Amino acid sequence: MAKDLRINRRVFTAGAAALAATPLLRRSAFGQATPMPDAEAKLEIFSWWTSGGEAAGLDELFKAFKATSPNVEIVNAAVAGGAGSNAQAALQTRLSGGQAPDSWQSHPGQELFSLYVDPGYTEPLGDLWTEQGWGTAYPQGLIDQVTKDGAQYLVPVGIHRGNVFFYNKKVLADNGVTVGDAMTFDEFFAAAETLKAAGIPALALGDKDTFAAPQFFENTLVGTLGAEAYVGLFDGTTAWDSAEVKTAIETFAKALDYVNPDHAALTWDGAVDVLIQGKAAFTSMGDWAYGEFVKKEVTDQVGWVTHPQSEGAFVTVVDGFTLPKGAPDPVNAANWLRTVGSAAAQEVFSPFKGCIPARIDIDKSKFSGYFTWSIDGLASAASVPSIAHGAAVSPQFRQAIFDATVSFVVDKDVDTYQTALKQGADDAGIGA
Ligand code: GAL
């Protein structure tokens, strides 16, 4: 299982010639190619992309869709809340009530299968994948994460790196802190002490979004255990009650001494603002944060490195879209999926969203700066799945980790936290 969870461009067969635009279809969602007058219908797209960079990225996808379906009205049904905290619950209510939107955002892996495929909410997309030649356009490891019993259930649009440590260049320069190509925990804590002496929190955290502190912890797990042992946490080859996990928890506790005082009141993008304003030096966040820097036109003020000691790993956070059973307009929904699965749409979406295209046959020359760093990172580091963003563990185990982390941020009780994590793993049947 551990191997299956990895997405690594090194093992991909790069290839697939660029695919020609496919004519719009009627009759079935993706059957015989019959030109479709994309008339009166609507297209309702459900996501949690509401922050500045997220909304800007989504808008690029909408524009790409409109280019081929100009008469279709798009209904943006986004529900705010980082990592889908509110959206996923709202969506479950809609799905169980038979009120599916035309397509919704999901991460691949456990989240896709547990929340949507197994309950029978999604259509298999094998025909569309074949029609579009996506079998050679996406990394094999990613295809594995969207495939069940031989059928694909998601069309990936972008790949985020979850273990990025962004920093405010001026704050570091003013305080004589330098950052190289990688950073150790010791280097970070030395910088944190220097900054503390100057009255500046080293870390911007926005844990009003319940994923933010768990994401800091998962990055610390990766940095402490290394990619291989981190992935072992999900198949039982690494024990949740091991000494290494305890070390990661202790490091997490120590880091919490350096967070911004208003962290509990801020969302993840609020914490990004704290960094931009120079009221904190670093933030450990997925690179959707970069979308905020783009939106606010401050990319020149921000630097990045991987979360301490995690440079050998690329924590993948992949977004994709589904085709529901009972989509109000399956034809427009299928055309939406053709759009988000196209290299052209992914190339315009990614720079706004703060991610890289999920396809491997994109034109790399269109990317520079942060994005080139991320593309190269995916090619060279070991890809590992995210806990906080649904791919690595079941929704129940993820929730157990989130709940335990809420308490830990307040009480920093290492043993209680580790016991709760171990219990969550046991309940999930990991290593059983
Ligand atoms: C992730 C998602 C990203 C970004 C982030 C913050 O789960 O994959 O696209 O939106 O949450 O909301």
pLDDT tens digits, 363-406: 999 999 999 999 999 999 999 999 999 999 999 999 999 999 99
What share of the chain in percent tops pLDDT 70?
91
Atom of ligand 1 nearest to the CA of 288: 4
* Residue in 46, 47, 48 to alter for ligand 1 test, most ligand atoms within 8 A of Cβ: 48
Q: Find out whether the beta carbon of 46 lies less than 6 Å from any atom of ligand 1.
A: no
Please give the average per-residue pLDDT across 329-340, as a whole number: 97
Please give the average per-residue pLDDT across 401-426, as a whole number: 98
What confidence score (pLDDT) does residue 31 get? 43
CA nearest to 330, candidates 51, 120, 41, 78: 41
Q: How confident is the model at residue 14 (pLDDT cuts 50, 70, 90)?
A: very low
Q: Find out whether the beta carbon of 288 lies less than 6 Å from any atom of ligand 1.
A: yes
Note the pLDDT tens digit of each residue in 304-320: 999 999 999 999 999 99
On the question of pLDDT at 175 being above 50, the answer is yes
Q: Find out whether the beta carbon of 109 lies less than 6 Å from any atom of ligand 1.
A: no
* Residue in 267, 389, 398 to alter for ligand 1 test, most ligand atoms within 8 A of Cβ: 389
Q: Find out whether the beta carbon of 54 lies less than 6 Å from any atom of ligand 1.
A: yes
Structure tokens at 26: 């009627």
Note the pLDDT tens digit of each residue in 254-272: 999 999 999 999 999 999 9
Q: Find out whether the beta carbon of 317 lies less than 6 Å from any atom of ligand 1.
A: yes
What confidence score (pLDDT) does residue 372 get? 98
Q: How confident is the model at residue 114 (pLDDT cuts 50, 70, 90)?
A: very high
On the question of pLDDT at 30 being above 50, the answer is no
On the question of pLDDT at 333 being above 60, the answer is yes
Q: Find out whether the beta carbon of 48 lies less than 6 Å from any atom of ligand 1.
A: yes
Question: Ligand 1: which residue has its CA nearest to atom 1?
Answer: 83
On the question of pLDDT at 337 being above 60, the answer is yes
Q: How confident is the model at residue 40 (pLDDT cuts 50, 70, 90)?
A: low
What confidence score (pLDDT) does residue 431 get? 80
Judge whether 46 and 32 are in contact, CB under 8 Å: no
Report how far ligand 1's centroid is from the alpha carbon of 288 (Å): 7
What confidence score (pLDDT) does residue 432 get? 67
- Residue indicated by tokens 């799905």: 95
For 307-375, what is the HEC assignment?
CCCCCCEEEEEEEEECCECCCCCHHHHHHHHHHHCCHHHHHHHHHHHCCEECCCCCCHHHCCHHHHHHH
Q: Find out whether the beta carbon of 82 lies less than 6 Å from any atom of ligand 1.
A: yes
Q: Exposed, middle or buried by CB within 10 Å (0-12, 13-18, 19+), for 80?
A: middle
